[in-house]
């Protein structure tokens, strides 16, 4: 055993032998020592690559809303970085921080003002916070069958794949007068082949390589088009206080549509995925703690113009697939966002706008595929593995939930449909068993 492993073991033993209440100083010292060793051991290229696994979701939404003036890019980067760092330290896994997609979609289609977008984020944050602090979200989790949760993961994964294809097709072309050298199908094909060639490799930082290539393409495009380059300034968040009218519009038009997506995909499905990938951290990654985290992110950040943020199972799946295995990945990403937000802020808009959608689309596709594959664990561990009929019922629940979610593009409809079919199956099977017993 190496000296580093011995030191790490001693540090862990210290935390077991001394509680925070009995010897707070020694507890804090040993905890800092353990965290430092853990971060040092996990500072690798794979973690850095994994930190970029969710860019396919983040960048398109961030650029679209910041160009329209519906969010502050400076605040979004600064608070996004802070939430990354805080989430990493609290949950100790690569817990992603991503934009609320339903709010973003409504903001673009309905041309919401900045105050209305902020109101939507504050509204969702407050409701999710209440669900977490009152432990109501635990009741939802407890009474939701595992196949329905897996169906939400499958449906959300397929939805990400569809959005990835749309992103690739946005500027895609096969040549001719509309062909763009910096954003085309050829880049998508090469990126796709590259990612899946090294899909099972833990040493190849595929997301990092794709990000660097995309960044180089964006810089070249800026120079060729004589667009403004990012400039170093001191940037800081500005307070945004929505009016009562803006709050009413934002809450009714965007908050209510985002709530089921956040509660189901960003809390319940995320907790299930986190515990699948990191069972040793299950005590940290509970639906209650995740709900409170999402609530506080938006209750605080949205008063400074930050884009509404949440955690998400798709983001975690993407970061895990691209190499993230610890909180180091999002700590690095958080510090990077924080520094970039303070130094460059809104001057980054042009650079991000030229980042190739063809590459972002492939990264988003992989995130969706990884999330959807989590649905393969649809059987409850307590079920009899030889019960063929039970397996068939569970698989049907997965497909029904995912199908309704994808078909209606609504997590709430998928959830309600899955729960209804689950209840019907339970009633039918219950009466079938009673009738067979009587015979």
Q: What is the pTM of this model?
A: 0.84
Among residues 375, 351, 261, 371, the alpha carbon closest in space to that of 59 is found at 351
Alpha carbon distance 297, 121 (integer Å): 9
Query: If the chain, 439 residues long, is cut into consecutive pieces of 10 residues, what is the mean pLDDT of each piece?
Result: 42 44 58 82 91 89 90 96 95 94 87 95 97 94 91 91 90 78 93 93 88 94 89 92 94 89 92 93 92 97 96 92 93 95 92 92 91 79 63 92 91 91 90 63
pLDDT given for residue 301 in this prediction:
97
Q: What residues pair up with 310 in beta bridges, in sequence order?
A: 98
Burial bucket for residue 45 (CB in 10 Å: 0-12, 13-18, 19+): middle
pLDDT given for residue 100 in this prediction:
93
Q: If you write DSSP's letter for every residue of 132-200 in order, what string do you get?
A: HHTTHHHHHHHTS-HHHHHHHHHHHHHHHHHHHHHHHHHS--SSSTT--TTSSHHHHHHHHHHHHHTTT
pLDDT given for residue 377 in this prediction:
77
Pull the structure tokens for residue 102.
Answer: 């339903």
| First-last CA distance in the chain | 64
CA distances from 280 to 153, 283, 326 (A): 21, 8, 12
Q: In Å, how far from its chain's centre is CA 33?
A: 29
pLDDT given for residue 81 in this prediction:
97
pLDDT given for residue 176 in this prediction:
72
Question: Which helix H or strand E contains 124, and what residues bound it?
Answer: helix 114-133
pLDDT given for residue 28 in this prediction:
59
């Amino acid at each position: 055993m190496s000296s580093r492993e011995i030191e790490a073991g001693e540090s862990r033993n210290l935390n077991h032998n001394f509680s925070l209440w009995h010897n707070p100083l020694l507890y804090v010292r040993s905890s800092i020592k353990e965290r430092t060793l853990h971060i040092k051991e996990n500072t690798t290229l794979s973690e850095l690559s994994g930190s970029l696994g969710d860019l396919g979701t983040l960048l398109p939404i961030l650029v679209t809303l910041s160009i329209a003036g519906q969010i502050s890019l400076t605040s979004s980067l600064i608070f996004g970085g802070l939430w990354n760092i805080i989430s990493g330290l609290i949950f100790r896994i690569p817990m992603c921080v991503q934009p609320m997609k339903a709010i973003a979609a409504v903001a673009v289609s309905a041309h919401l003002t900045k105050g209305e977008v902020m109101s939507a984020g504050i509204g969702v944050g407050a409701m999710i916070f209440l669900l977490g602090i009152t432990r109501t979200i635990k009741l939802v989790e407890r009474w939701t069958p595992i196949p329905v949760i897996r169906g939400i993961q499958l449906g959300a994964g397929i939805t990400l794949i569809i959005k990835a294809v749309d992103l690739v097709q946005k500027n895609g072309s096969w040549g001719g007068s509309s062909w763009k050298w910096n954003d085309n199908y050829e880049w998508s094909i090469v990126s796709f082949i590259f990612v899946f060639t090294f899909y099972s490799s833990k040493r190849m930082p595929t997301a990092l390589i794709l990000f660097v290539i995309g960044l180089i393409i964006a810089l070249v495009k800026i120079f060729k088009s004589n667009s403004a380059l990012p400039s170093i300034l001191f940037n800081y968040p500005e307070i945004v206080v929505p009016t009562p009218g803006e709050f009413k519009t934002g809450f009714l038009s965007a908050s209510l549509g985002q709530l089921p997506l956040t509660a189901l995909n960003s809390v319940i499905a995320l907790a299930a995925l986190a515990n699948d990938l990191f069972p040793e951290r299950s005590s940290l990654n509970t639906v209650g703690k995740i709900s409170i985290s999402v609530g506080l992110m938006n209750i605080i950040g949205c008063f400074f113009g930050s884009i509404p943020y949440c955690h998400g199972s798709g983001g975690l799946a993407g970061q895990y697939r691209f190499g993230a295995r610890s909180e180091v990945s999002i700590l690095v990403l958080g510090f990077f966002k924080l520094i970039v937000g303070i130094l460059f802020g809104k001057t980054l808009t042009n650079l991000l706008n030229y980042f190739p959608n063809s590459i972002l689309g492939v990264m988003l596709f992989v995130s969706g595929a990884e999330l959807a594959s989590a649905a393969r664990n649809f059987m409850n561990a307590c079920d009899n593995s030889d019960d063929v009929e039970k397996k068939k019922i569970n698989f049907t629940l997965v497909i029904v939930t995912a199908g309704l979610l994808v078909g209606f593009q609504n997590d709430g409809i998928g959830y309600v449909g899955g729960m209804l079919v689950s209840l019907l199956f339970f009633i039918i099977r219950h009466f079938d068993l009673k009738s067979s017993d009587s015979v």
